[in-house]
Amino acid sequence: MGYCKFSKYNLFFFICLFFSAYGEYNSNQISSDQAALLAFKAGIVADPDNVLDSWNASGVPVCNWPGIRCHKTTGKVVELVLSHYSLTGTISPSLSNLSDLEVLDLSQNSFEGIIPPELGSLSQLKQLSLSSNLLKGNIPSSLGSLHQLVYLDLGSNQLAGEIPESLLCNGSFALQYLDLSNNSLSGKIPLRNECFLEDLKFLLLWSNQLVGEVPPALANSTKLEWLDLESNSLSGELPADIVYRMPRLQFLYLSYNNFRSHHGNTDLQHFFASLRNSSNLQELELAGNGLSGKLPSIIGDLSINLVQIHLDDNHIYGPIPPEISNLDNLTLLNLSSNLLNGSIPTELCQIQKLERLYLANNQLSGNIPSELGNALHLGLLDLSNNHLSGTIPDSFANLSQLRRLLLYGNSLSGEIPPSLGKCNNLEILDLSQNRITGMIPDEVAGLSSLKLYLNLSSNLLHGPVPLELSKMDMVLAIDLSSNNLSGSIPSQLGSCIALEYLNLSSNHLKGNLPASVGRLPYLKTLDVSVNQLNGVLPESLRESTSLIMLNFSYNHFFGNVSNEGAFSSLTVSSFLGNPGLCGSVRGMPICHRKRTRHFVMAILVSLVASSIFFMVAYPLLLKFKFRRHLTGERVKDIESEEKERKELKLLRISHKQLIEATGGFRCSSLIGSGQFGQVYKGVLQDTTPIAVKVLNSKAAGELSCSFKRECEVLRRTRHRNLIRIITICSKPDFKALVLPLMPNGSLENHLYPSPGSKRDLDLVQLVNICSDVAEGMAYLHHHSPVRVVHCDLKPSNILLDEDMTAFVTDFGISRLIKGADEDTSTNDSASYSSTDGLLCGSVGYIAPEYGMGKRASTQGDVYSYGVLLLEIVTGKRPTSVLFEEGSNLHEWIKSCYPHNLHPIVEDALGRFSPGGRPTTDDQNKRWRDVILEMIELGLICTQYNPSTRPTMLDIAHEIGLLKEYLSYSSSQHIEEVPVEPISNPLP
């Protein structure tokens, strides 16, 4: 019994000793994890969200720290996830002491320095993501020791050097996802024949500086679904033998490399035949390689799931195979900029889902198939710069979704079909450089949907300039030059209020140049040269604040021309061939005044007539007006005005006081003009400076709605960056908003100063302005009592006070969404379509989804804000980029991103430094960093898919960090401050 009793106590003692030792061991391990995490925290220099505040040596247990997950049994740290927290600093090697770590995700931050090689000792690591940071240096070869690694993402950093061979060549490697894209990696892809990546599904190496051929060993990755090698310097033959062994391939991107086709760049069939095995293929991109050979008929045997094919910018020749029509689900086909010949196959028109068809810059001939009218989803058709002949098919009238029709640079003949006027969504119509005859149909001239440009130049058109052009109140450019047009220039062109470019040169036009043309508020270029116009040049042209380029040469104009206003920068070259002109323009003959007896008599008669009028007729007129104002109509006006004033509880200012304050709304008081009216500056009797927004009375119904909507928005919103309302003045024939006068005008005036003036805003001021705008828009979207979609965010709608604080204004086409007491989690789009009533914004700033009938939404404002950022950085209007580059601002910047941004950044540095460039290396670096961040944020905001854009709250936060970052550039601090990283804007 004694022995048994001792044995029991001995056993109990042993068990206690064991668990005591185990507990001490486990506690030491947890303590070790804690020490590693605290050492990591010590390397963080900025934590704007204070996410690591609770990370400390006492108090909250390690497993309850933000971003940490522990094993349920051992209590060891197995996950460290701190993505999207705006952290700045370096990655501490101490993380290698987290021996049980399985997931390490520090993506979407601003970590600098190198990737610690010590991370290669995390033997249990399965997922490592350090993407979208500012990491430099080489990729550590020690990462090849992570045998359990399934997911590795180091994309969108500043990594350089070669890809370590150990990363791809490890027999026990279980890697499924590898992303090294958007860096500066060089050398070859180091995958030897004896290396196997059998489980690899995603390989993303785009936008680097890789060279050499695609390694044959990649054929062992038979599970590959996504292969993106775009924008490198890879060479050799297209990897037919490799993709043949990838039956699960869905996305293949090989564009913009130096690949060649089979048999010395003559045979494309070999490669396309290898793709027939990839039955899930959805997108194929081979653009910009200089590939040669005929497009094989077996292209029609590719995956029925194919949605997009990009073969542009190559040397592909021969006809377009009709078998391509077998690809029923194709939405985009780009074969432009090749050497294709023959006719456009009618079978191509059978692809019912086709939305965009690019066949430009080839050698196609024959007629345009009328069957294209059956592709009812077609939104873009570009057949420009070919050898097409015949007439424009009437069947295009069936294309209700058509937005861009580009047929220029062909040999088309016949007349413009009036049925094109039924294409109610058309934004661009370019039929220039053809042999089209006849008159311009009224139905086409009256296409009010045109928002970008109408180009009918270099044809054989005759007849008058149609009056119906006045309906194009949103078009930016009209070019009717080099035709046989006759008659006069209609004064109704003054209704094309958005017009920036008007070219009527080389026609047979006669008569005077209408003064209304000079009053177009945004007109920059006017060319009426080589016509038979006569008369005196309208004074409105000289007074224009927008005109930059003018050409009146070879007409019959006469009179005195002053070198003031818009004419101040012109030389005699703008007036050649008009012997009747004289004046003070450089190189022009000086005018000699001639006083005649008839002139003096005319003055005397005028004086006598004026005296009689003021003595007799004027008192009678005043008496008549006074009596009429005492009638019921005036009483009704007063009651209406009182009702609206009482409703808004605003300061009372009469119509008469506004007339006195603005000098009778004279031209010298005009400070702005838009689609719905004009803005005048004025001073009240108490010396208060004001801005009076007078709405145009010609569109009473629409403007009444716009007026009420703006009043409603201004009445119910209060924010330091939103314009406030002083009062309103409303009568049946007069409606005006009275607002504070902003002494520094609009952002537009500073971005695009008048000729002879210099840009006066530096980068710090511009970032502050962007921050103000983001804060105001975030309030409208998320905090206003009635949530608002602005719908027209652009530089002219951003005003600046004496301190250069920015105010968002012009809510005339805004959408009120819902009250704060309603559920805001399910919908942030307006309750009616963007096409109801008014157009959602200005051309160039309009979100692409609006053009497809989508509802107005906060994401649309985010898109406009992104365009604004890109516009500020590039110094280019979004419409100018369209004319110069043939693409929108987003696509143009995206084509330069990330390796060709240097010219854009250098140009921005020059424009953002009116007082001289940054003088210190630190300041210079900060300015460059901020410019790059603005570009990336602009690209993210202008992504095509609205759901991928950030919210205005996120944007306001990002810009706030840039403000903080810049604020240190002029101080004595040398430590880094947080700059929010931007996720990769190129999917």
Which domains are assigned to the chain? Answer: 448-457+464-593 (3.80.10.10), 597-630 (no CATH), 631-741 (3.30.200.20), 745-987 (1.10.510.10)
Q: Cβ distance 277 to 302 under 8 Å? A: no
Question: Per-residue pLDDT for 637 more than 70?
Answer: no
Q: Cβ distance 577 to 551 under 8 Å? A: no
Confidence of residue 131 (pLDDT cuts 50, 70, 90): very high
- 162-166, 662-666, 915-919: the lowest-pLDDT one: 915-919
Cα 692–chain centre separation = 31
Which of 112-126, 567-581, 791-805, 924-938: highest mean pLDDT? 112-126
More confident position, 973 or 689: 689
* Digit-coded pLDDT (tens) for 639-649: 434 443 443 34
Q: Cβ distance 131 to 984 under 8 Å? A: yes
Question: Per-residue pLDDT for 497 more than 60?
Answer: yes
The per-residue pLDDT for 984 is 40
Confidence of residue 888 (pLDDT cuts 50, 70, 90): confident
Closest CA to 371 of 405, 341, 348, 400: 348
The per-residue pLDDT for 916 is 62
Question: Per-residue pLDDT for 980 more than 50?
Answer: no
Count of C-beta atoms within a 10 Å radius of residue 57: 8
Mean pLDDT of the chain: 82
Residues tagged active-site: 792
Question: Per-residue pLDDT for 558 more than 90?
Answer: yes
The per-residue pLDDT for 649 is 42
More confident position, 698 or 547: 547
The per-residue pLDDT for 983 is 38
For residue 885, CA distances in Å to 312, 889, 890, 891, 907 come to 17, 9, 11, 10, 17
- Strands laid side by side in the 339-342 sheet: 292-294, 315-318, 339-342, 363-367, 387-389
Q: Count Cβ neighbours within 10 Å for each residue of 261-284 and write b for 16 or more, e otherwise.
A: bbeebebbbbbbbbbeebeebbbb
Question: Per-residue pLDDT for 50 more than 60?
Answer: yes
* Digit-coded pLDDT (tens) for 690-718: 888 887 655 444 445 556 666 666 666 67
What is the C-alpha separation between 675 and 980, in angstroms, rounded? 38
Question: Per-residue pLDDT for 469 more than 50?
Answer: yes
Q: Are strands 798-800 and 209-212 parallel, antiparallel or unpaired?
A: unpaired
Average pLDDT over residues 891-895: 84
Confidence of residue 812 (pLDDT cuts 50, 70, 90): low
Annotated binding site: 693
Average pLDDT over residues 390-410: 93
The verdict on pTM exceeding 0.85 is: no
- How many helical (H) and strand (E) elements, i.e. helices and strands, does the chain have? 21, 51
The per-residue pLDDT for 270 is 95
For residue 688, CA distances in Å to 96, 670, 720, 839 come to 67, 17, 20, 35
The per-residue pLDDT for 407 is 96
Question: Per-residue pLDDT for 530 more than 70?
Answer: yes
The per-residue pLDDT for 897 is 81
The per-residue pLDDT for 711 is 66
Residue 604 C-beta-side C-alpha neighbours within 13 Å: 6
**Which residue's structure tokens are 């000699």?**
592
- 132-141, 414-423, 945-954: the lowest-pLDDT one: 945-954
Token duo for residue 481: 């030059």
Closest CA to 436 of 396, 388, 470: 388
Name the helix (H) or strand (E) containing 511. Answer: strand 508-511
The per-residue pLDDT for 71 is 92
Question: Per-residue pLDDT for 625 more than 60?
Answer: no
Token duo for residue 197: 């990546």
What is the C-alpha separation between 536 and 549, in angstroms, rounded? 19
Question: Per-residue pLDDT for 628 more than 60?
Answer: no
The per-residue pLDDT for 642 is 43
The per-residue pLDDT for 709 is 62
Question: Per-residue pLDDT for 45 more than 50?
Answer: yes
Annotated binding site for ATP: 693
The per-residue pLDDT for 857 is 86
Contacts of 482 (CB under 8 A, 6+ apart): 457, 458, 459, 505, 506, 507
The per-residue pLDDT for 266 is 95
The per-residue pLDDT for 686 is 78
Q: Cβ distance 306 to 284 under 8 Å? A: yes
Burial class of residue 687 in the structure, from the number of CB atoms within 10 Å of its CB (0-12 exposed, 13-18 middle, 19+ buried): exposed
Question: Per-residue pLDDT for 758 more than 90?
Answer: no
SS3 call for 150: coil
What is the maximum alpha-carbon separation in the chain?
Answer: 151
Question: Per-residue pLDDT for 798 more than 70?
Answer: yes
Count of C-beta atoms within a 10 Å radius of residue 878: 23
Question: Per-residue pLDDT for 487 more than 70?
Answer: yes
Confidence of residue 965 (pLDDT cuts 50, 70, 90): confident
For residue 3, CA distances in Å to 6, 14, 472, 554 come to 5, 16, 109, 127
**Which residue's structure tokens are 């240096």?**
137
What is the C-alpha separation between 199 and 217, in angstroms, rounded? 13
Contacts of 339 (CB under 8 A, 6+ apart): 315, 316, 317, 362, 363
Average pLDDT over residues 734-746: 84
What is the C-alpha separation between 700 and 734, in angstroms, rounded? 10
Task: Phi first, then psi: give them for residue 186, nearest 5 degrees.
Answer: -130, -175
State the virtual CA torsion across 165, 168, 173, 175 in degrees, nearest 10: 150
- 266-275, 476-485, 583-592, 624-633: the lowest-pLDDT one: 624-633
Average pLDDT over residues 389-412: 94
What is the C-alpha separation between 296 and 265, in angstroms, rounded? 14
The per-residue pLDDT for 250 is 94
The per-residue pLDDT for 387 is 96
The per-residue pLDDT for 616 is 43
The per-residue pLDDT for 925 is 84
SS3 call for 805: coil
Q: Cβ distance 271 to 238 under 8 Å? A: yes
Phi-psi region of 76 (alpha: psi -120 to 50; beta: other; left: phi over 0): beta
More confident position, 841 or 750: 750
Q: Cβ distance 829 to 849 under 8 Å? A: no
The per-residue pLDDT for 526 is 96
Burial class of residue 625 in the structure, from the number of CB atoms within 10 Å of its CB (0-12 exposed, 13-18 middle, 19+ buried): exposed
Which of 311-325, 637-651, 901-915: highest mean pLDDT? 311-325
Average pLDDT over residues 460-464: 96
More confident position, 758 or 461: 461
Question: Per-residue pLDDT for 363 more than 60?
Answer: yes
Length of the chain: 987
